[in-house]
């Protein structure tokens, strides 16, 4: 049988296990927009075994999306169906029936992206004081922030550990993320990290982290050298990106390789150049980052090994 055709048929066939009635979904507002897709906030009635209204996030296409974007959204749906881990974003349902747009209903993360959360936390003068709103990055989506506070070093470690556990799970089920970065990790209630935006979908939410190339946009500063040169993506290239993500955590959401143009990066990395240790980063943590940035993918640690290191670091901390 032609598996390509079977795949397409499967993608378009409604799956009663996941289908959610459109009339029980109330769209409230836009959380983010990309070139072809958008994420909305909505309320869903009695979804995924939860009584009453639940706030959810809804991924959908814009009106001018092309066939390939539809295909990407459906591919993401297929992937999300297969994953189940506390640190990976969860699918709650879909609307794929005729009579409306395609909606992927996913769990809502009340603090938004980890990158924005870290950057917002910088603006706090004290535990609960805020700077005037003019000091806050205007491009950010506004989230109601009942209990935003300064991010402690222990929390940084906890975020890294949670992301590591989610990634260890994804690698166990043979899924390569390809775009692991703080902007693609969501922060849910109780500061639980949820890895999102994995798989093939490459719609980018107007972020200058992505370098425009003929074939879409590429997150150069998060990419392993073998991905940049040979388009090789593996769990080991995800580990490289994880090292960059840890650097983002430590710097509370700074952009990697400050002052370095993406055009020069590959050459520099090949010559052995790596980011230096950030001011408030312990040598232990820096050594972990550096191990993720080994030029030889095989020499980089696995997410399982990294999880064990994190567990140890968190138990050593007082």
DSSP class of residue 23 equals G
The number of residues that bind ligand ADE (CB under 6 A) is 10
Task: Determine, following the binding rule CB under 6 A, whether residue 278 of this chain makes contact with ligand ADE.
Answer: no
Catalytic residue among 64, 72, 179, 279: 179
The footprint of ligand ADE on residues 38-77 (CB under 6 A) is: 39, 57
Minimum CB–partner distance for residue 172 and ligand ADE (Å): 23
Indicate the residue whose CB is closest to ligand ADE.
57
- Do 275 and 247 form a contact (C-beta atoms < 8 A)? yes
Q: Shortest distance, CB of residue 117 to ligand ADE, whole angstroms?
A: 11
In degrees rounded to 5, what are phi and psi of residue 97? -75, 155
User: Is there a catalytic annotation at residue 179?
Assistant: yes
In whole angstroms, the minimum distance from the beta carbon of 44 to ligand ADE comes to: 13
Q: Which is nearer to ligand ADE, 61 or 106 (CB)?
A: 106
Name 211's bridge partners. Answer: 218
Pick the stretch among 44-52, 103-111, 260-268, 299-307 that binds ligand ADE (CB under 6 A). Answer: 103-111
* Helix or strand run (H / E) with residue 174: none
Question: What angle separates helix 303-316 from helix 283-292, to the nearest 10 degrees?
Answer: 180
112: contact with ligand ADE by CB under 6 A: yes
Is 154 annotated as belonging to a binding site? no
Q: Which residues contact 201 (CB under 8 A, 6 or more apart)?
A: 37, 72, 73, 75, 76
CB-CB contact of 187 with 114 (8 Å): yes
The nearest distance, CB 141 to ligand ADE, in angstroms, is: 7
Q: How far is the CB of 59 from ligand ADE (least distance, A)?
A: 7
Q: Which is nearer to ligand ADE, 191 or 274 (CB)?
A: 191
The tokens describing 13, both together, are 């066939």
Beta strands of the chain (E only): which ranges?
A: 25-33, 37-45, 53-61, 91-95, 103-107, 185-188, 192-195, 211-212, 217-218
Which neighbouring-strand residues pair with 53?
45
Neighbouring CB atoms inside 10 A of 171's CB total 19
The site map against ligand ADE for 13-42 (x = CB under 6 A) is ------------------xx------x---
Element (DSSP H or E) covering residue 232: none
Residue closer to ligand ADE, measured from CB, 121 or 235: 121
Return the residues of window 284-313 that contact ligand ADE according to CB under 6 A.
none
Q: Rounded to the nearest 5°, which phi and psi values hold at 211?
A: -90, 125
Q: Is 92 in the site for ligand ADE (CB under 6 A)?
A: no
Q: Is 89 or 224 the residue whose CB approaches ligand ADE more closely?
A: 89
Nearer CB in complex with ligand ADE: 141/260 = 141
The tokens describing 138, both together, are: 């205007």
* Smallest distance, ligand ADE to C-beta of residue 40, A: 9
| Residues 181-220 interacting with ligand ADE (rule: CB under 6 A) | 186
Q: Which two tokens stand for residue 47?
A: 């979804």
Rg of the chain (C-alpha set): 20
Q: Which residues are annotated as a binding site?
A: 59
Q: Which residues are annotated as a binding site for ATP?
A: 59
Q: Which residues are catalytic?
A: 179
Positions in the binding site for ligand ADE (CB under 6 A): 31-32, 39, 57, 89, 106, 108-109, 112, 186
């Amino acid at each position: 049988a032609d598996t390509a055709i079977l795949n397409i048929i499967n993608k378009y066939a409604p799956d009663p296990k996941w289908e959610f009635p459109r009339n029980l979904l109330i769209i409230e507002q836009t959380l983010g927009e990309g070139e072809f897709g958008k994420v909305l906030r909505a309320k869903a009635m009695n979804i995924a075994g939860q009584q009453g209204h639940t706030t959810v996030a809804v991924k959908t296409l814009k009106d001018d999306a092309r066939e390939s974007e539809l295909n990407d959204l459906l591919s993401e749906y297929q992937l999300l169906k297969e994953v189940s881990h506390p640190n990976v974003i969860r699918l709650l349902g879909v609307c794929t029936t005729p009579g409306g747009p395609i909606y992927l209903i996913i769990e809502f993360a009340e603090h938004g992206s980890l990158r924005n959360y870290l950057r917002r936390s910088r603006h706090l003068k004290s535990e609960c004081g805020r700077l005037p709103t003019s000091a806050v990055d205007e491009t950010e989506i506004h989230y109601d922030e009942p209990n935003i506070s300064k991010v402690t070093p222990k929390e940084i470690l906890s975020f890294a550990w949670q992301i590591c556990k989610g990634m260890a799970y994804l690698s166990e089920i043979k899924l390569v993320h390809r775009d692991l970065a703080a902007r693609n990790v969501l922060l849910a209630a109780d500061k639980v990290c949820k890895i999102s935006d994995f798989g093939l979908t490459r719609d980018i939410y107007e972020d200058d982290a992505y370098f425009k190339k003929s074939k879409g946009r590429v997150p150069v500063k998060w990419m392993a050298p073998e991905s940049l040169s040979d388009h090789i993506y593996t769990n080991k290239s995800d580990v490289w990106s994880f090292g960059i993500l840890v650097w983002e955590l430590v710097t509370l959401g700074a952009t990697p390789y400050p002052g370095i143009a993406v055009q020069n990066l590959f050459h520099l990395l090949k010559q052995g150049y790596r980011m230096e240790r950030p001011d408030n980063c312990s040598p232990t943590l820096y050594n972990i980052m550096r191990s993720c940035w080994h030029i030889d993918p095989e020499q980089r640690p696995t997410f399982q090994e990294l999880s064990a290191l994190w567990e140890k670091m968190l138990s050593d901390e007082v």
